[in-house]
Chain A
Amino acid sequence: MDPLLSVRDLKVEFDTRHGRVTALAGISLDVMPGETLGIVGESGCGKSITALAMMGLIPNPPGHLTDGQIVFEGEDITRASPRRMRQLRGRDISMIFQEPMTSLNPVFTAGDQIAEAIMLHQDVSKKEAWEEAVELLRVVGIPEPRRRAASYPHEMSGGMRQRVMIAMAISCRPKVLIADEPTTALDVTVQAQIFDLMRDIQEKFGVAIVMITHDMGAIAEMADRVAVMYAGRVIEQGRADDILDDPRHPYTSGLIGCIPALGREAASAERLPPLAEIPGVVPPLHLLGAGCAFADRCPLVHDRCRRERPPLAPHGMAAQEFLGGHAVACHAAEREIAA
């Protein structure tokens, strides 16, 4: 099966006070039709930039997509015209954001904002679009959808606003739905409801979901496959079960160690020293050297890690072949496999 969306060696740079910094240093990902791909990593590792690149929404200036491809259904959308991109956005690829409180326009009603997206991409009357918006609000589980359609964002809770965002994002039956930390700003019970809703929607519409999160718990719950990012790179990738049961990268192990009460400690504890939390922070992008970006925080670090950056996957394997397989960018993991 061909991937629906594949990112190849994508490089994104930003002009900053420190000169040009690399936010994405050549990442590759595949999204298969109807699956959920989780992208996980700490703050600042480039998750949102990856998502915005897929939408063609890297802010420019200061951002530049300097290399690589994003292929959607056979078309390299990094080369698409702005007009073509506008057609795809919201219709074939849509996105929901981390900040439900501020992502809806305060001066328009929820119904108007959903209907606007419908009218933009479909040949329907205003009235039909409104009826469809009400129906979508019902689908995303908003009580009294007809009344709520006429409400303004400030009259709704964060969870409800995120449901409105989801209704808007699925209004044109997209093939890919990118969810950038959709529950970070919401409290725990609401988080679980939103995850349930996303699973329902995936079942109903067969949409592929790209779930961005910094929480391995969310990955365990939602994802079929996972890409773990660190400092602008994918450092481990594979099926969610494989990675959760048998993480190869010390960073991934650390993230799994951060899952509260998941009962996976036993599996990983034998292999690696347990990490309740990963000490240290992601180094600033303009200070990244030649070696592994995780070296300074890594419990298994050795000389080679500081000199030479480990490539993703055992040597020589093409990105395409990762699919279904388990790939990791770590010298320590490689030695272990060789041994």
Chain B
Amino acid sequence: MGASGYILRRLGYGVILLLGVVVLNFLLIHAAPGDPAEVIAGEMGGATQEMMDKIRADYGLDKPLIVQLGLYLGGVVTGDLGESYFFNQPVIELIGARIVPTILLVVAAQMIAITLGVGMGVLAARRPQGAWSAFVSVFSTIGYAAPVFWTGLMLIILFASMLPLFPVEGMESARFSGGPILYALDVLHHLFLPALTLGIIFLAQYARLSRASMIDVLGADYVRTARAKGLSERKVTFKHALRNAVLPIMTVAGIQFGNLISGALLVETVFNWPGMGRLAFDSVLRRDYPTLLGVLFFAALMVVVANLLTDLGYRLADPRIRTGGSRK
């Protein structure tokens, strides 16, 4: 089976996985206490029995759960995620307006975490007994243990009061005027702190992992071969060793995408970032189930896509996987 067959098969798995996630989320949310009809009625300013019944009928809440699930699944397949109880707006539109900031945040955080983390780990591995290596070990332990909101608050304190270089709130300046390039810069400026906060937590893991992986690879026979050719230490490290050391890092990066997305939920709340995280948080408080389900669906979709991309990247990076897959 060639690469395209592999991709098709992975896409198929992805779709099945997503459907499973949708069903589970749906059942879990309906098992949670609280009656959405009451909440909706509350929003409308009163809750007579008559109104409640009408609301139940309007939203299909009076039907058996299995029927509701069937209707919901049918909607999902045709791209209809229902209407928000709170906004009275299609969920897909609500999410559409917020998914880009979230993707921006997650991707920026992942890039910060990987480049800084791998850089730190690689430098540490070149002298495993050195002071820098010890610093990286301590730093990554602390970074790993510190909760997101703590890191976020520390950065807010640091940058809001002591070193006010970066905005700590929102995604764009109020009353912004300027061309698209200036706007992009403005967004990047706002992106810095939230992305750094989210990145730092994962950075620690990448630093630790790449330090270990790099130390391992630097002792490999083929690294000795590279030296025996007369290559410079820089070429040996960054070409021959790093190309192999990143393989386990790629695997972890794929797995971390899910955690990164749930971390984004907290970071968006701390920095008032207008993404899906805030929407999810608010929907929980408002018992806005369709919106919450929609957010969860898109989060799962992002994870599935990220994992697919990681897999493809891994196949490009490791020729053993590439041909191994095609032989089967």
A interface vs B, CB < 8 Å? 55, 57, 61, 86-91, 94-95, 97, 99, 102-109, 113, 116-117, 120-121, 152, 154-155, 165, 168
Given A121-B230, A152-B323, 4 other A-B residues pairs in contact with their CB atoms under 8 A: A97-B224, A97-B228, A105-B225, A168-B229
Knowing A103-B221, A103-B222 are in contact, say whether A57-B228 is a contact too (CB < 8 A): yes
B308 interfacial by beta-carbon distance below 8 Å: no
Contacts of B221 in A (CB 8 A): 97, 99, 102-103
**A105 CA to B231 CA in the complex, in Å?**
14
The residues of A that contact B244 with a CB separation of less than 8 Å are 105-107
Answer yes or no: B243 CB below 8 A from chain A CBs. yes
Q: Is B240 an interface residue (CB 8 A)?
A: yes
Q: Which of A87, A88, A99, A103 has the most CB of B within 10 A?
A: A103
B248–chain A nearest beta-carbon distance, Å: 13
Q: How far is the CA of A168 from the CA of B222 in the complex (A)?
A: 13
Tell whether, in the assembled complex, residue A89 and residue B222 are in contact, meaning their CB atoms are under 8 Å apart.
no
Closest chain A CB from B188 CB (angstroms): 34
Q: Does B78 contact A (CB under 8 A)?
A: no
A106:B230 contact, CB within 8 angstroms: no
Is the Cβ of A116 less than 8 Å from the Cβ of B319?
Answer: no
B220: Cβ under 8 A from any A Cβ:
yes
A55 cross-chain contacts in B, Cβ below 8 A: 228
B318 touches A88 (CB 8 A): no
Residues of B within 8 A of A (CB): 129, 220-222, 224-232, 240, 243-244, 317-320, 323
Residue contacts A-B, CB under 8 angstroms, 7 given? A87-B230, A95-B228, A97-B228, A99-B221, A106-B319, A108-B240, A155-B323
Select A57's contact among B227, B232, B318, beta carbons within 8 Å: B227
Q: How far is the CA of A57 from the CA of B227 in the complex (A)?
A: 8
In the complex formed, the residue of B with least CB distance to A99 is B221
Residue in B closest to A171 when the chains form the complex, CB atoms: B229
What residues of chain B lie closer than 8 Å to A57, measured between beta carbons? 224, 227-228
Inter-chain contacts of B228 with A (CB < 8 A) = 55, 57, 89-90, 94-95, 97
Question: In the complex, which residues of chain B have a beta carbon less than 8 angstroms from the beta carbon of A89?
Answer: 227-230
Residue of B with least CB distance to A83: B232
Q: Which of B222, B230, B240, B317 contacts A86 (CB 8 A)?
A: B230
B residues near A168, Cβ cutoff 8 Å: 225, 229
**Whole-angstrom CA separation of A86 from B226 in the bound complex:** 11
- Is the beta-carbon distance between A107 and B224 smaller than 8 angstroms? no
Nearest A-chain residue to B225, judged by Cβ:
A103
CB-defined contacts of B319 to chain A, threshold 8 Å: 106-107, 109, 152, 154
Are A104 and B230 neighbours in the complex by a CB distance under 8 Å? Answer: no
- A117 surroundings in chain B (CB, below 8 A): 229-230
Q: Which one of A102, A103, A108, A120 lies within 8 Å of B230 (CB-CB)?
A: A120
Which of B225, B240, B243, B323 is A165 in contact with, Cβ under 8 Å?
B225
Q: What distance in Å separates the Cβ of B40 from its nearest Cβ neighbour in chain A?
A: 57
Question: A87–B244 Cα gap in the complex (Å)?
Answer: 25
Decide if B230 touches A154 in the complex (CB within 8 Å): no
Cα(A91)–Cα(B231), bound, Å: 11
> Once the chains bind, are B230 and A105 in contact (CB under 8 Å)?
no
Q: How far is the CB of B241 from chain A (nearest CB, A)?
A: 9
Known: A106-B319, A107-B318, A155-B323. A90 touches B224 (CB 8 A): no
* Contact (Cβ within 8 A) B222 A116: no
Question: A104 — nearest CB in chain B belongs to which residue?
Answer: B222
Chain B: which residue is nearest A92 at the CB level?
B230
Question: Which residues of A sit under 8 angstroms from B222, Cβ to Cβ?
Answer: 102-106
CB-based contact B317/A107 at 8 Å? yes
Q: Which of B222, B231, B318 has the most CB of A within 10 A?
A: B222
Complex CA gap A117/B323 in Å reads: 26
- Shortest C-beta distance, B59 to chain A (Å), equals 55
- Shortest CB-to-CB span from B129 to chain A, Å, is 8
7 smallest beta-carbon distances between A and B, as pairs: A90-B230, A89-B230, A90-B229, A102-B221, A105-B222, A152-B319, A117-B229
Residues of A within 8 A of B232 (CB): 86
When the two chains form their complex, are residues B227 and A104 in contact, meaning their CB atoms are under 8 A apart?
A: no
Residues from chain A with Cβ under 8 Å of B224 in the complex: 57, 97, 103
CA–CA, A168 and B319, complex, Å: 20
Flag if A104 contacts B225 (CB, 8 Å): yes
A155 to chain B, nearest CB (A): 6
